[in-house]
Amino acid sequence: MKASVFVGTSLDGFIARIDGSLDFLPPGGGEPHGYDEFMATVDALVIGRNTYETVLGFDAWPYAQKPVFVLSTRPLAKPPSGAVVEHIQGTPAYVVSLLEKRGVQHIYVDGGITIQAFLEAGLVQHLTITRVPVLIGTGIPLFGATTRDIPLKHIATRQYASGLVQSEYEVGV
Ligand SMILES: NC(=O)c1ccc[n+]([C@@H]2O[C@H](COP(=O)([O-])OP(=O)(O)OC[C@H]3O[C@@H](n4cnc5c(N)ncnc54)[C@H](OP(=O)(O)O)[C@@H]3O)[C@@H](O)[C@H]2O)c1
């Protein structure tokens, strides 16, 4: 099974403000930069509880009928009707083995703590990071401490007229 990350960050590497707000990201996702095309390749999402709670506050559920596995050690708020949400907990290795048994072939891993745990476990193969041209100084970081270096192979960097700069990497090669 393949696991990918597709995330937007401030230039200084934050995915959200400390209070979870995303107001520094361009509204509506901004200039098209491959999100829809990426989503079309994904069978399921694995997101952390904090990301789930942020998404619950959106005007509309953004994942349509795609299965969303929410990692949390605590009970979850009810999903909106029509959303396909399953509460799971366990290590990234456990999550991957569970989803493999269900026939899932490509997951989208999202949420800072969750991405960091999957990276640390060596269970992310592909990163797409879109940097927004703003410094916010403080916030929830995309990356954190690691117990070892995680080598990346640069695949491509694209620039967009609105100032987005997107870099794609393979992990562990
Ligand atoms: N800019 C972007 O593209 C982007 C993308 C995604 C998210 N975000 C933002 O980032 C923020 C959330 O990121 P975050 O770093 O705070 O965390 P997160 O990864 O969304 O959620 C972390 C939580 O998930 C649960 N969790 C993670 N791994 C687990 C495991 N193996 N087993 C059980 N539970 C597990 C824990 O919740 P419990 O304490 O409940 O156990 C943990 O506190 C939100 O504001 C969101 O909007 C931004």
Q: Which domains does the chain have, with CATH numbers?
A: 2-171 (3.40.430.10)
Which residue, among 125, 140, 119, 100, has the nearest Cα to 8 in the 3D structure? 140
Residue type, 94: Y
The angle subtended at Cα 58 by Cα 79 and Cα 129, nearest 5°, is 105
Distance 161 CA to ligand 1 centre (A): 31
pTM: 0.97
At residue 167, the 3 state secondary structure works out as: strand
Q: Over the stretch 40-96, which tens digit does the pLDDT of each residue have?
A: 999 999 999 999 999 999 999 999 999 999 999 999 999 999 999 999 999 999 999
How far apart are alpha carbons 30 and 22 in whole angstroms?
12
Q: What pLDDT score was predicted for residue 172? A: 85
Is residue 126 in contact with ligand 1, taking CB distance under 6 Å?
A: no
Exposed e or buried b per residue across 124-142, where buried means at least 16 C-beta atoms within 10 angstroms of its C-beta: bbbbbbbbbeeebeebbbb
At residue 14, the 3 state secondary structure works out as: strand
Exposed e or buried b per residue across 66-82, where buried means at least 16 C-beta atoms within 10 angstroms of its C-beta: ebbbbbbeeeeeebeee
Is residue 140 in contact with ligand 1, taking CB distance under 6 Å?
A: yes
Is residue 109 in contact with ligand 1, taking CB distance under 6 Å?
A: no
Q: Over the stretch 125-165, which tens digit does the pLDDT of each residue have?
A: 999 999 999 999 999 999 999 999 999 999 999 999 999 99
Rounded CA Rg of the chain: 16
- Report which DSSP code applies to 28: G
How far apart are alpha carbons 117 and 88 in whole angstroms?
15
pLDDT at 109 over 80: yes
> Tokens 């991957």 identify what position?
96
Which residue, among 60, 66, 30, has the nearest Cα to 47 in the 3D structure? 66
Q: Over the stretch 18-44, which tens digit does the pLDDT of each residue have?
A: 999 999 999 989 999 999 999 999 999
**Strand partners for 86:** 69
